[in-house]
Amino acid sequence: MFRFVHAADIHLDSPLRGLSGQEGDNARRIRKATREAFENLVTRSIEEKVDFMILSGDLYDGDWKDYQTGLFFVAQMGRLSSEDIPVFLVYGNHDAASQMTRSLNLPPNVNLFGTHHAHTFLIPDLSVAIHGMSFRQRDVTDNLVPGFPDPVPDMFNIGVLHTGLGGLGGHANYAPCSSGELIAKGYDYWALGHVHQGQVINRTPYIVFPGNLQGRHIRETGPKGACIISVNEGAVADLGLLAVDVVRWEVLTVNAGPEDSFSDIINRIREEIRTVSGEMDGRLLACRILIEGKTKIHFQLESSREPLLAEARSAALSLGSSVAWVERVVVQTEPMGIGVDEKEETSFMDLAQILGKAKDDPELLKMMESQLGELVQTLPYDLRIDNEDIALKSAIDREYGELLSPVIRFLLADIREQGQKS
């Protein structure tokens, strides 16, 4: 019997999003999260006395800013080397050979798969054969599976591959292949990387994405970590999750009742954060607050985005300086009868109709295209294909009518709120 750890998509020193202009202990903790999660992985692997580790690509997040990223990785590999734990590594699209201008010699316990063809490393004492191939460039559009070696007889065969597996989960379809092709290869376990949501695609043989090691933004919610696999008599006996994330992202939904006040909503946000943070086992809760419901204060909430976010962050801090951090507050409430006279309501609805037509105004959309189109194309590739900001996504997708929608909603809410105050 033996055990191994399968991890992928570590993205060491990746800049976590949503932190622009943010300072303090929580912001610093979030910025260091990918390193701390990797340290946790190494610590847990040593504690669990695993026989080897597999890293299935995107160890880095692109070219290093300086050598500190590489030195950190080497230091962690040194910890595993002192425990006689070998590591088998493929490079994916983010750390492809063409992406990196700096490099360091790897410790002897790290076995790196080459970029020219699939190669096999053997662990004779465990009767294990590990087959893999690294990315030479970021945009690998060829199916690499046909070039993988045949399984070694009388050994437990593992394939290590960074792949989109047909564009699973909306990820770029690098090294495209199908699960049927992986099954047909005859291996006992496929250690995949690239898809950030952990999932078991197949069980005979096992085809597994462990997900990324540390959630980096609100689209990467829930527990994150690596898989730990037990093999007995040539077959997978158990597969579990080693949760090593230090910051956990969650979307918290708060209901706004018909008669709730602004203070009621803030108190409800505080209680929701208190409840969920109590389930984090010491991790920092990074959350987005979603406010729903039909309420008389709909327009007040819509027109008070900045003070609402400040109050939500204050509510989180009131629970302790390192308990939770609020990334954003999203208002999705609906208005209810507010008792305005018929003339005022008619005027407001006329204005709403006029502004609403702006989304379909050809001249306005053409102007936005000319001003935003070229600017968007200058954004980094990964930001354009993988972003969670609704407004930014609308601009990238050239959906300028959708880009106007939140602006119009905010303007109408502010007009209505000011009207109620007068």
pLDDT, tens digit (0-9, with 9 covering 90-100), for 100-157: 778 788 999 999 999 999 999 999 999 999 999 999 888 898 999 999 999 999 999 9
More confident residue, 346 or 72: 72
More confident residue, 414 or 228: 228
More confident residue, 92 or 340: 92
pLDDT at 360: 62
pLDDT at 384: 47
Q: Where in the chain is the domain with CATH 3.60.21.10?
A: 2-243
pLDDT at 385: 47
pLDDT at 250: 97
pLDDT bin (cut points 50, 70, 90) of residue 81 is very high
pLDDT at 19 over 70: no
Of 9-23, 196-210, 364-378, minimum mean pLDDT range: 364-378
pLDDT at 351 over 90: no
Residue 224 neighbours by CB under 8 Å, 6+ apart: 37, 198, 211, 212, 213, 214, 215, 243, 244, 245, 248
8 A C-beta contact, residue 158 and residue 123: no
Alpha-carbon distances, residue 212 vs 28, 58, 79, 246 (angstroms)? 20, 9, 22, 13
As a CATH number, domain 2-243 is: 3.60.21.10
What would the two tokens of residue 367 be?
């102007």
Residue 381 neighbours by CB under 8 Å, 6+ apart: none
DSSP string for 104-123: -PPPTTEEE--SSS-EEEEE
pLDDT at 345 over 80: no
Of 79-83, 166-170, 276-280, minimum mean pLDDT range: 166-170
pLDDT at 67 over 50: yes
* Average pLDDT of the chain, as a whole number: 84
Nearest Cα to Cα of residue 155 among 181, 126, 182: 126
CA distance 86 to 2: 13
More confident residue, 60 or 65: 60
pLDDT at 149: 97
What does the DSSP 8-state code read for residue 82?
T
Nearest Cα to Cα of residue 162 among 55, 282, 79, 298: 55
Nearest Cα to Cα of residue 207 among 195, 199, 215: 199
What would the two tokens of residue 304 be?
């008070």
Of 61-70, 84-93, 203-212, 261-270, minimum mean pLDDT range: 61-70
More confident residue, 2 or 336: 2
8 A C-beta contact, residue 6 and residue 226: yes
pLDDT at 284 over 90: yes
pLDDT bin (cut points 50, 70, 90) of residue 12 is very high
Percent of the chain with pLDDT over 70: 76
Q: Please state the pTM of the whole predicted model.
A: 0.80
pLDDT at 318: 93
Q: Is the dihedral of CA 121, 104, 14, 403 positive or negative?
A: negative
Mean of pLDDT values over 236-259: 96
pLDDT at 230 over 70: yes
pLDDT at 381 over 60: no
Percent of the chain with pLDDT over 90: 62
8 A C-beta contact, residue 115 and residue 97: yes
Nearest Cα to Cα of residue 204 among 183, 229, 177, 234: 183
Of 41-55, 165-179, 341-355, 363-377, minimum mean pLDDT range: 341-355
pLDDT bin (cut points 50, 70, 90) of residue 170 is low
Q: What is the pLDDT of residues 398-408, one digit of tens each?
A: 554 555 555 55
Sort 141 into a burial class: Cβ within 10 Å, 0-12 / 13-18 / 19+.
exposed
CA distance 220 to 199: 13
Q: Cβ–Cβ contacts within 10 Å for residue 367, how many? A: 12
pLDDT at 199 over 70: yes
